[in-house]
Amino acid sequence: MKKKLALMLVAAMTMATVVGCGGGSEDAAPAAAETETEAPADTAAAETEAPADTEAEAPAADGELIRVGFAQVGHESDWRTAATQSAQTVFSAENGYELSFVDCDNDSAAQLDAVRNFIQQDMDYIIIDPIVSTGWDAVLTECEDAGIPVVVIDRTIDDSDKYVSWVGSDFKVEGLACGEWLAAYAKAKGISEINALVIEGSTGASATIGRTDGFKEIADREGWTILDSQDGDFTEAGGQEVMESYCQSYAGQFNVVICQNDNEAYGAMTAMDAAGVTYGVDGDVIIVSFDSNKPAVQLVLDGKLNATFECNPLAAPTVDEVIKQLAAGETPEKEIYMAEAWLASEDIVPSITVNGEEQPIIHVTEDVLANRAY
């Protein structure tokens, strides 16, 4: 029996309403270059292979491969590379999948086209990492009409709930954690005045919105000044360009730089080096990042980056679990949050409290670096 029909029947027993199999979208346009990928065996994510129990048996009970379409944001950052490699490792033929992967190159229109193309191809499941958080209800309705379950990962969709599950991070908590760490760090260091510059991620991305809102909430509470907050598009080039402008416009006025991902921090460091601005543990400017890929954690160990706030890119193993639950007629959680950590170069802030929950600040050592998964 065709997997999707089996799924629809199973779903019919567990859900109040079942959407009949409708036609796909009439206006599907060829999506961005689509690749059917085998798992590159030696990818970084391979060391973080899905938990053993997800390797036990291929998800497809009838021996056919489960066809998954994945519309990925793009290839803008190390974080994105780790997330893509994790998906290619998990959704591989040996794990019972046939992955159709589309890199949407930060182009929202191309991403909608990619999803419509997946509908045309009658995928068994569609995974979306949404470039921006709005403009999704129409295409998700088309997926629902076609009877294709959608799993959203990483960034959020804020104008529709027509998907089975979302697997990702609480970006506002990341921003709050950054603010709370900075407040404790400044107090421990006797820094009474904070004049911050923010290098934001891509405009409209939920990661940008959450991190910006969270940090600003603490800045307002503490009476800090945010001198400026501009879009660095989550890229190293974007971070460098914005920081070069900041070094011109705010020379001598700032003592904190908040980079909303690691790659922007690398670019900001290049710009500050060129402008003769010192940063890090022994510098004049405190600099932090989000994501915490291994190269950033190395910079924290080296004292070049004061702190980094993790955003876990390895959602694919959890999505594999969601698919298995659906195939077994179970109802997955609607929101599944990834575990993450906050890491600092100096061991002077042992913990912070975010939303009433005490969370440790991990002091980065060689061992901490060695045990990073990505």
Helix axes 236-249, 262-275, angle to 10 degrees: 40
CB of 75 to ligand GZL, least distance (A): 9
CA angle 105, 93, 320 (to 5 degrees): 70
**91 touches 324 (CB < 8 A):** no
* Rounded CA separation 177/7 (Å): 41
CB of 201 to ligand GZL, least distance (A): 6
CB of 171 to ligand GZL, least distance (A): 7
Q: Are strands 125-128 and 66-72 parallel, antiparallel or unpaired?
A: parallel
CB of 134 to ligand GZL, least distance (A): 15
Give me the residues that bind ligand GZL (CB under 6 A), please.
76-77, 79-80, 154-155, 169, 207, 234, 261, 290-291, 311
* Rounded CA separation 128/142 (Å): 14
Residue of 216, 218, 186 whose CA lies nearest to 200: 216
Nearer to ligand GZL by C-beta: 120 or 263?
263
* Rounded CA separation 104/106 (Å): 6
CB of 332 to ligand GZL, least distance (A): 20
CB of 35 to ligand GZL, least distance (A): 20
176 burial level (CB within 10 Å; 0-12, 13-18, 19+) = buried
27 burial level (CB within 10 Å; 0-12, 13-18, 19+) = exposed
Nearer to ligand GZL by C-beta: 154 or 180?
154
* Rounded CA separation 191/189 (Å): 6
Residue of 270, 293, 336 whose CA lies nearest to 79: 293
CB of 106 to ligand GZL, least distance (A): 9
Nearer to ligand GZL by C-beta: 76 or 241?
76
CB of 165 to ligand GZL, least distance (A): 16
* Rounded CA separation 371/246 (Å): 35
* Rounded CA separation 86/259 (Å): 24
Nearer to ligand GZL by C-beta: 11 or 131?
131
Phi, psi for 89 (deg, rounded to 5): -70, -45
CB of 287 to ligand GZL, least distance (A): 16
* Rounded CA separation 10/328 (Å): 8
Nearer to ligand GZL by C-beta: 8 or 337?
337
Nearer to ligand GZL by C-beta: 37 or 235?
235
**291 touches 230 (CB < 8 A):** no
